[in-house]
Structures are given as C-alpha cells and as structure tokens.
Amino acid sequence: MKVLIIGRGGREHSLVQKFAESPQVTQVYAAPGNAGMQEQAECLPFSETDHEKLVGFAKDQQVDLTFVGPENPLLDGVVDSFQEAGLQVFGPTKAAALIEGSKHFAKQLMQKYEIPTAQYAAFTDADQAKEYIQKQGAPIVVKADGLAAGKGVVVAETVKQALKAVDDMLLNQQFGEASEEIVIEEFLEGEEFSLMAFVHGENVYPMVTARDHKRAYENDEGPNTGGMGAYAPSRVVTEETYQYAIENILNPTARALLKEDRFFSGILYAGLIQTTEGPKVIEYNARFGDPETQVVLPLLENDLFQVITDVLENKDPHLRWADEACAGVVVASAGYPGSYEKGVQLPKWTPSEEVFTIHAGTKSNGEHYLSDGGRVLLFGAKGETLASSLEKVYQALKVFEPQDKFFYRTDIGRSVSVSPDQNVE
C-alpha cells in the first residue's frame, strides 16, 4: 500500500514513522515533508494547498490513502478535491473543518447542542468588545476567531491586558483575517488535557489523553506557542472523567456536526479543561494536535493504516494502547514564538533506541541539519512511568547546552498546580 501524508511539521513526521511501521505499507510520501522525514518517506516538492499537483500525484502513483496533517489545507478544501477525484483520503471536508476554522462557529455549535464550554461573546467592533470586558472583569480570555498557528489566544490577567488584546486583534489586525472577529470567553480554572479521536460520522474511537504545554517558558509563563512539549496519558484524568468527556463532548460533537450537514471524517481533537463542574471544551481542532501526536502515536499498538481503513469502512478498529507513559520536549529557536533566526546548524546527536527524534522545522545542507522554523525538533521517550520517560528525554537534550541558539523547557510534565513528585508518578 502507498500512503501520502500532506504536511511538513512534527506531527507529520510522527505520522510518517507510524505508517512506516505498518507491514501493509510499502511506500510513504510526504508533501512537502522535511529533512527528518527523508529516511522513511519520499518528500515531494508540492505545497500543502496545491490541490492540482497533490491530486495529480496521488492518481498517477495510485496512492491508496492520503492523510492530511495540518489545518490550513483542510480549511482550504483539499479533502473535497481528493473526494471529487474519487481518491481515498482521511480528513474532514472544508465544511466540517470549520469547527477549527472558526471559534465563533464552534461556540455556537456547543451552545446549540449543550456541549459544556465557557460562557462567551463574539465581536467585530472593538468598542463593544471593550465594554463587554469592562463589565466582565479579569481574568478573561480573548481569542482570534480564525487560524493563528496556535498563537491567537490571550489569557488576560488584567482588564488592561484584555483591552490591549482587543486593539491588537481587531484594530491592528495582528493575525490578519483570522482576527477580524474575536471571541471573548470566561476564564476557566483547572488542569487542561487533550482528547483526540478517530471519527467517521457518528462513529467515535477515542485515543489516550495527553497534556500539552503551550506557554513558551518555565512554570507555564510567557506567550502561547504551538506547544513546547507534551506527555501521555494525562496524569489528571480519571477513568470517570475520560468516560464523561467521551459521552458528553466527543460523541455529541460528532452527532452535532452530522445534524448540521457537516459529516466529519478524520481526527477530532478536543482541548479540554477539568473544572469543578467537570470537563469543558476550550477549543476544537479538526486534526491531530501538535505536539500531542508525537507522544500519543508511540503508545498505539495497532497498525495505523489498518485503523484508518477500519474507521473508513465503519468497522471498530479495537484500539490497543501500551501500558506506559510517553513524554516529548520541543527544542525551539531562540526568540520563538517571536522573531528567530533560520539556517542555524543543529548539534549532532547520537541516535538511540531509547529516545526518538521528531523533526518539525529542519532542512539539510547534506552534512548537517539546519533550523527551518520556530519549533525545530522534539525529543521523546516511552517509559514505565512519566518520570522515567522524562529522565531519558532530558538526558538526551543535554546536547543542546548551553541554550543560546535554541531553548527548551525543563519542566515539561511538571505542572505548577501540583508538586513535581505527584505529577511524575
């Protein structure tokens, strides 16, 4: 079987590795891919949104399955193009992907179908938004309605910060079209976790939970990023909470999209927070999370190609998960998520059976890997406990000392809301 993966980041490298494990898969292609994928995939010189070339290649090479990794091509309708060409593709259509493409749409959907989430209001007028903030007070959350590469969220601890976020997004167009409308939400307290599922219509097959660390710096401080590290399964999620989230969030969301004539086939991601009233939705994604994918897929014992084949044929894939923990820490370019230098040579590291490496933003000059993005690499490991997996990862990361050209958080897996000892058991 031949598989084409659309995308170029860490999530897609993780998918390349997982598909390459399948005894059914003889060839993996990545479009456009990155330097790290070249060992297991043939990288193609096509943009993620070049429908004509992607569809043409899949037809010419008789690709059996195309998997769409990132959000931009999904919202650009690449799945629709593949379906119109009669090709097997896994990912939601443009209409279904709107659950990620518009936070306002997602909030309206949750409100209509009584899916638990924070109270909110949406605005295109800055003065009205500011008046609402003054009335509600802080802390409060301001979000760009559209896609902003994981950076369009401001958790404002003061009214002043919230008002500035309104100016930045609505008046100064900080995120372009993505912030022509904003959503303002009540601040929810609790532990966050991610819950992803393979979905096809009403059929929902949940994965193990994960915990992403969005803030750039230690102790969950600094600006939001695309994610600085993750671990799975989440330490805070009990079996009761897990089942509640499936029954009250994932399943109703899939049914709601169906009722709204937005049949969803692909990966549904729910970013959740465990409140005193139970889990609530912070955000949806219409694809695998990044970097959660990099710590969830290594725990999946099934053949990923067979899983997706079963899901598309309305069969239960009977997911099996390793009884282990998996942790991953992101190495980022100095300055990220602000401006940063590209083309910086990465230090050489020794490949290990214990620690896996995922490339996110890299290129090669033939001899060395060079940085080619804000998030450059992820080092990950499995272990009997979260503590043992983290120990392996941080030992391997010493090759990046001193942290002048690159940096990474040293507290992944150690939430500030609980003691480190509790968190890594």
The rounded mean pLDDT for the chain is 94
Whether residue 174 sits in one domain with residue 47: no
In this predicted model, which residue has the larger pLDDT, 351 or 355? 355
Whether residue 209 sits in one domain with residue 178: no
Q: Which residues span the domain enclosing 196?
A: 191-423
Mean pLDDT of 151-176: 92
pLDDT band at 422 (very low <50, low <70, confident <90, very high): very low
pLDDT band at 425 (very low <50, low <70, confident <90, very high): very low
Whether residue 179 sits in one domain with residue 163: yes
Q: Over 54-81, what HEC string results? A: HHHHHHHCCCCEEEECCHHHHHCCHHHH
Taking only the tens place, the pLDDT of each residue in 86-129 is: 999 999 999 999 999 999 999 999 999 999 999 999 999 999 99
Is residue 401 scored above 90 in pLDDT?
no
Which of 92, 108, 127 is the last residue before a domain boundary?
92
CATH of the domain at 81: 3.40.50.20
Whether residue 132 sits in one domain with residue 229: no
% helix, strand, coil for the chain, step of 5: 35, 30, 40
Is residue 346 scored above 90 in pLDDT?
yes
How many domains is the chain partitioned into structurally?
Answer: 3
Taking only the tens place, the pLDDT of each residue in 361-383 is: 999 998 899 999 999 999 999 99
The per-residue pLDDT for 415 is 55
Q: Is 226 left (phi over 0), alpha (psi -120 to 50) or beta?
A: alpha
List beta partners, residue 231. Answer: 211, 327
Taking a C-beta distance cutoff of 8 angstroms, is the pair 120, 129 a contact?
A: no
pLDDT band at 417 (very low <50, low <70, confident <90, very high): very low
DSSP letter string over 100-113?
Answer: HH-HHHHHHHHHHT
Is residue 423 scored above 80 in pLDDT?
no
Mean pLDDT of 176-198: 95
Whether residue 403 sits in one domain with residue 275: yes
The per-residue pLDDT for 152 is 86
Is residue 323 scored above 70 in pLDDT?
yes
Q: Give the side-chain half-sphere CA count within 13 A for 196.
A: 26
Is residue 151 scored above 80 in pLDDT?
no
Around Cβ 337, how many Cβ atoms within 10 Å? Answer: 20
Whether residue 253 sits in one domain with residue 205: yes
Which helix or strand (DSSP H or E) is residue 84 part of?
helix 78-84
Helices (H), 94-209: 94-101, 103-112, 126-136, 159-166
Q: Is residue 98 part of a domain?
A: no
Which helix or strand (DSSP H or E) is residue 292 part of?
helix 292-296
Whether residue 365 sits in one domain with residue 284: yes
Quote the CA–CA distance of 85 and 62 in Å, as a whole number. Answer: 12
